[in-house]
Structure 1
């Protein structure tokens, strides 16, 4: 007896299925385009687009929880990120709740990024590689055109500064994912509501979920006897910084060490960023 499949939803368990369908749609469009554009000037453009489709089909999958997304965007905004190598030449990363970026009028919100590392061009800040992001949205109208998939590609040309801003966010995600006291990385697990095709079940656990580790301790010093306990209404971000870390014999040596950001406040309260995220560069 076959199981009845739900309509696809934007959840970690559905991410492998969504990636496969998006790559298939992209290949279909390229097939139609290649039959129309056979002239030599377009061959390189089509070859690069085919490479993007193949990269998407096999890209490692990441899912970033809503709180981890907030922390990553705030960390990217603060700047001073450590030099972190990409975990893979390409990847497909979905941000729960989307990225809270200020975008030009008419551009739908960004919910996912397909990154490709371009080693042929130097990146910013002395890096030898460049992040080439391809954008996806969960906008209802755009998704309806993709057969009601919960993600759709954003075809608009990104405004100047957006690729660099997204590159900073990806660097922040990769750096934070290596901090076990801040971030918990675990494989995705299907929920009872995720009734997927049986063929997709082995792929679900390949999705790397990044979840903010909960702060189980209340902030501040314990109240003195008779003092009223302060009622905290939210959690907040303590931003990372660099310091000269002592090490070696008698701690006589110093090295520059990145101290990652972390979150303070009761685990059951919402996470509030210090200020509105504005990382737009014009």
Structure 2
């Protein structure tokens, strides 16, 4: 199918979700028809018993994959929608590098969701071997997640394949985004693999955790909702690709904490800084304070235990700030950059 013209903007997220669902539904219908034809041919053929058994096993495996894709499409159709602004993408990317162990169940903003980055936040493996960190790397543009009936959480990073359009050909369908791969994790177990450098770990999981955690911190991000419920085919044509939420004249703003209609998109934006706010000194002069200077403190994560028996972890991000008496002069720290082979 030909590539569509859906702009990459916050107001288009409901359309992106609908088109992705339609692509999966189309694939499911095509695979079901193929399996029905294969079963009919197998029943009519006079094949050896062992060969017939192997064919049936192959059909059963395909059937299970098709059933799972159908479940994915049904969950995506009901997924909460999020758009992460360009400046917030950079904050998430940098914060993920130092993320300590965290628990998905304590951080996830909704049981099922679709999150779109205003600009690619990095690359993810795509194709055969991607689940183990191999495969072809593609820009990471979106994330779909759902909690399955067995309690496991499924993460599906997706790409627009903006620079790899040739990868669309084998799919025999068009979609605004294409799933790069899929992994399952236990949402109640703290993620330690990425922190410990486990070879089986995938760096994109830390970015997911950082995004979810920062979305819940009012000192870092702001959340506002827009109702982008335009009728199909009436999306704003003035919005450019890779635009921020302000582009495209979003609809009425609503409270993201209240129940939202299916067309509502939650905008995740970087909290504006003020002269007396985030970068202000956290200390204050007192009779016992003998410090004579302020000094900058780089952002860092502070670990926080939570959940049943304090078994879960929900880190808190401490933004860049200054320490010392408010009226003391700032003493900048010298930085030395070391280049190693």
Partner residue of 2:115? 93
1:28 deviation in Å? Answer: 0.6
Aligned CA distance change for structure 1 residues 152 and 188 (closer, same or farther; 3 Å): same
Equivalence map 1:266-277=2 (5 Å): none
1:244-279 per-residue CA deviation (whole Å, 9 max, x = no partner) reads: 9xxxxxxxxxxx9944132569xxxxxxxxx9xxxx
| TM-score normalized by the length of structure 1 | 0.63
Q: Is it true that 1:60 corresponds to 2:80 in the alignment? A: yes
Considering only aligned residues, what root-mean-square deviation do their CA atoms show, in Å? Answer: 4.0
| TM-score normalized by the length of structure 2 | 0.54
Q: Is it true that 1:210 corresponds to 2:232 in the alignment? A: no
Q: Choose which of 114, 121, 124 in structure 1 pairs with 2:144.
A: 114
Instruction: Please say which of residues 24-33 and 70-79 is displaced more in the overlay.
Output: 70-79
Q: Is it true that 1:261 corresponds to 2:318 in the alignment? A: yes
Once residues 192 and 155 of structure 1 are traced to their aligned partners in structure 2, the CA distance between those partners, rounded to angstroms, is 28
Q: Choose which of 31, 34, 39 in structure 1 pairs with 2:32.
A: 34
Once residues 263 and 65 of structure 2 are traced to their aligned partners in structure 1, the CA distance between those partners, rounded to angstroms, is 35
Once residues 90 and 216 of structure 2 are traced to their aligned partners in structure 1, the CA distance between those partners, rounded to angstroms, is 17
* Larger-gyration structure (1/2): 2
SS in 1 for 2:144: strand
Unaligned runs of 5+ in 1: 1-5, 122-128, 222-235, 245-255, 266-274, 276-282
Aligned CA distance change for structure 1 residues 118 and 15 (closer, same or farther; 3 Å): same
User: Across the two proteins, how many residue pairs are aligned to each other?
Assistant: 223
Once residues 258 and 157 of structure 1 are traced to their aligned partners in structure 2, the CA distance between those partners, rounded to angstroms, is 25
Once residues 11 and 26 of structure 1 are traced to their aligned partners in structure 2, the CA distance between those partners, rounded to angstroms, is 22
1:35 deviation in Å? Answer: 0.8
Q: Is it true that 1:239 corresponds to 2:300 in the alignment? A: yes
Q: Is it true that 1:175 corresponds to 2:213 in the alignment? A: yes
Unaligned runs of 5+ in 2: 37-58, 126-133, 184-197, 229-235, 240-247, 252-259, 282-296, 306-312, 323-336
Aligned CA distance change for structure 1 residues 87 and 243 (closer, same or farther; 3 Å): closer
Aligned CA distance change for structure 1 residues 136 and 101 (closer, same or farther; 3 Å): closer
Once residues 257 and 135 of structure 1 are traced to their aligned partners in structure 2, the CA distance between those partners, rounded to angstroms, is 25
Equivalence map 1:102-141=2 (5 Å): 106-118=136-148, 120=150, 129-139=152-162, 141=164
Once residues 35 and 102 of structure 1 are traced to their aligned partners in structure 2, the CA distance between those partners, rounded to angstroms, is 32
Equivalent pair of 1:185/1:210 in contact (CA under 8 Å): yes
